[in-house]
Amino acid sequence: MGVNNGGKTPQSNNNAKGLIYYAAIVFLITMLLNALVFPAVMEQKVLEVNYNEFLTMVDAGQVVQVQKDTDQLLFLAQDAHGNKQVYKTGLWEDDSLTEHLYKAGVTFGKVIPQRESAIMSFLTNWIIPIGIMVLFGQLLSRMMAKRMGGNAMTFGKSNAKIYAENETGKTFADVAGQEEAKEALKEIVDFLHDPKKYADIGATLPKGALLVGPPGTGKTLLAKAVAGEAHVPFFSISGSEFVEMFVGMGAAKVRDLFKQANEKAPCIVFIDEIDTIGKKRDGSGLGGNDEREQTLNQLLTEMDGFDGKKGVVILAATNRPESLDQALLRPGRFDRRIPVELPDLKGREAILKVHAKNVKMDDTADFNAIGRATSGASGAELANIVNEAALRAVRMGRKVVCQEDLEESVETVIAGYQRKDAVISENERRIVAYHEIGHALVAACQSQSAPVHKITIVPRTSGALGYTMQVEAKERFLMSKEEALNKIATLTGGRAAEEFMFKSITTGASNDIEQATKLARAMVTRYGMSDQFGMVALETVNNQYLGGDTSLACSPETAKAIDDEVIRTVKTQYEKALEILKDHAAKLNELSEYLLERETITGEEFMEILNRQ
């Protein structure tokens, strides 16, 4: 487990020590002021009034005590608020004054002004107000920290987590399914182990390596594994942590991060989601992105300024490489771009084995079968599948995970949990059964389609009332035009079965329609599988690692022609699916009735009934 030098515990201790020191200093200064500067006590202020006002106060009964001095009278009286105050007035030759005072009930004696401690006065007038302001500032600081996600008063300090040597807890053995990326990073590890070998020949290590790939493929894990293999300190920070409310604070954090890295060299600095601060500068000049651009400029400057021979390696991860500023990607900064792609079949099987090390599995567990059923899954999703299988085994009261748990967890991740309390009418169950058998039958009757693995009409929490799962026998990287057309036909098979058997259609084919249209459009605009347009790119892909949104790159007239071609393609395959179902109407009925009875059937059961004479 990492040692977080910038974490809460050390920082809290430092703050507590600082407050103790400050309190001690303030106390000493107060004592010195009280002893050397101020007198031990100071008298209360004496107010002066004229003689007429004095007589008025006597008649009003406010005067309590009187003292005759050489040239003045001192008297103690109550003010308008009832508080006792010492007054003085000039001495007047008045023979009747004594009798007047006696009648008013005034006593005669020495009037001594109230005395108060100078230190108490200093504390009351200075220390206590300042203390209240400090406490208010602390409260305001905490409120700002909660809103800004950190300590609001540590401007200019980076929030990088610093892991000591060997404490990332990860090595290359913990990373599976990314052999090419590991090979590219092993050279960095070798340099950090023996930099002299490279210095002797005059070679310098690339200052930075950019890990790019879809979410969940293990980019952060790879960076930690590099630090674990090299036995060097590991600085980890997210790009969003450089984003600040005040202009210039992000740049200050960059300076502080590289200062710390240079002090601990050799080391690895890992910036996750670097696209947060590394986006292309638009040059609009509107001033809306001053803070982000200053942070980026500081990052570029720091990467140019540090000595690569000291062994400071910058690793960064992003799933939006196309949005990065070109200045970041030039040689001398992020020299290497290391793809961390979705794993293939062999990689998925290896990842499942890594995550199953600490899970009790029985002999039925077949990771190859699960790997084939999870084409396109990331490492994080595969880890989730293993965990879901373990949780299911516990729910079922078993102490080991079996193959059934793994297969059910695949379906849970893909389609959600089973909705056991869902109430579906018999008519709708029949429609769903024919719909799913329609998919499977069209797929099985075409020569270049993936084999049917499972068919179910058990509702799922994702909203699906049933689904048909097809699993390729081997890993596939290319799709021919015939295979693409067959897939569109399979997708339309459910709707075709509804129309053929019930002379009506439902909303259950919405996802099938979306997938079929998307594939047909890609055939025309991206794959060059259209006789009308041929090998012409009519569409561009944006954010390929984040869903792959597309945008047309053609005229409105061409866009209309593309729409016509897509509609024609889908219609042709729909008619093909309808013909297949008409030719196998008896099997469609037999298989649908069997599915209604069992709710879930395997691909072997399906093929056995289909091939039965």
H-assigned helices in 214-344: 219-230, 249-263, 290-305, 326-329
Does residue 542 sit within a domain?
Answer: no
Own/partner long-range contacts of 174-177 (Cβ < 8 Å, ≥24 apart): 174/221, 174/225, 174/354, 175/218, 175/221, 175/222, 175/225, 176/343, 176/347, 176/350, 176/351, 176/353, 176/354, 176/379, 177/218, 177/343, 177/344, 177/346, 177/347, 177/348, 177/350, 177/351, 177/379
> 338 has which bridge partners?
211
Nearest to 537 by CA among 518, 553, 515, 561: 553
Residues of the chain with pLDDT under 50: 1-12, 40-42, 149-156, 165, 285-287
Is 173 strand, coil or helix?
helix
CB 61, CB 76: distance < 8 Å: no
Q: Looking at the structure, tell me whether residues 387 and 333 fall in a common domain.
A: no
Q: Which CATH number characterizes residue 78's domain?
A: 3.30.720.210
Q: pTM (2 decimals)?
A: 0.69
Q: Looking at the structure, tell me whether residues 446 and 581 fall in a common domain.
A: yes
C-alpha to C-alpha distance for 441 and 444, rounded to whole angstroms: 5
Residue 548 zone, left/alpha/beta (φ > 0; ψ -120 to 50; rest): left
Last residue in a domain, options 393, 414, 435? 414
Q: Looking at the structure, tell me whether residues 234 and 313 fall in a common domain.
A: yes
Distance of CA 50 to the CA centre of its chain: 76
CB 111, CB 74: distance < 8 Å: yes
Q: What order do you get walking across the sheet with 234-238 strand by strand?
A: 161-163, 234-238, 267-272, 312-318, 208-212, 334-339
Q: Looking at the structure, tell me whether residues 378 and 229 fall in a common domain.
A: no
CB 389, CB 406: distance < 8 Å: yes
Q: What Rg do the C-alpha atoms of the chain give, in angstroms?
A: 41
Pairing of strands 47-48, 63-68: unpaired
Q: Looking at the structure, tell me whether residues 185 and 265 fall in a common domain.
A: yes
Q: Looking at the structure, tell me whether residues 131 and 241 fall in a common domain.
A: no
Q: Which CATH number characterizes residue 406's domain?
A: 1.10.8.60
CB 333, CB 303: distance < 8 Å: yes
Domain range for residue 350? Answer: 345-414
Catalytic one of 407, 436, 498, 565: 436
Active site residue 436: yes
Does residue 563 sit within a domain?
Answer: no
C-alpha to C-alpha distance for 590 and 30, rounded to whole angstroms: 97
Residues 6+ apart with CB under 8 A from 270: 220, 223, 224, 227, 234, 235, 236, 237, 315, 316, 317
Is 434 strand, coil or helix?
helix
Last residue in a domain, options 386, 414, 442? 414
Does residue 409 sit within a domain?
Answer: yes
Q: Looking at the structure, tell me whether residues 447 and 581 fall in a common domain.
A: yes
C-alpha to C-alpha distance for 520 and 570, rounded to whole angstroms: 7
Does residue 55 sit within a domain?
Answer: yes
C-alpha to C-alpha distance for 123 and 543, rounded to whole angstroms: 64
**What is the pLDDT at residue 9?**
42
Q: Looking at the structure, tell me whether residues 255 and 324 fall in a common domain.
A: yes
Measure CA of the first residue to CA of the last residue in the chain; give whole Å: 63
Number of domains in the chain: 5
Q: Looking at the structure, tell me whether residues 32 and 50 fall in a common domain.
A: no
Does residue 267 sit within a domain?
Answer: yes
Q: Looking at the structure, tell me whether residues 131 and 165 fall in a common domain.
A: no
Q: Looking at the structure, tell me whether residues 60 and 88 fall in a common domain.
A: yes
Does residue 559 sit within a domain?
Answer: no
Does residue 244 sit within a domain?
Answer: yes
Nearest to 122 by CA among 22, 24, 41, 20: 41
pLDDT digits (tens, 9 = 90+) for 519-528: 999 999 999 9
Last residue in a domain, options 295, 318, 339? 339
Q: Looking at the structure, tell me whether residues 410 and 389 fall in a common domain.
A: yes
**What is the pLDDT at residue 592?**
94
CB 211, CB 315: distance < 8 Å: yes
C-alpha to C-alpha distance for 223 and 170, rounded to whole angstroms: 9
Does residue 382 sit within a domain?
Answer: yes
Q: Which CATH number characterizes residue 452's domain?
A: 1.20.58.760
**What is the pLDDT at residue 195?**
77
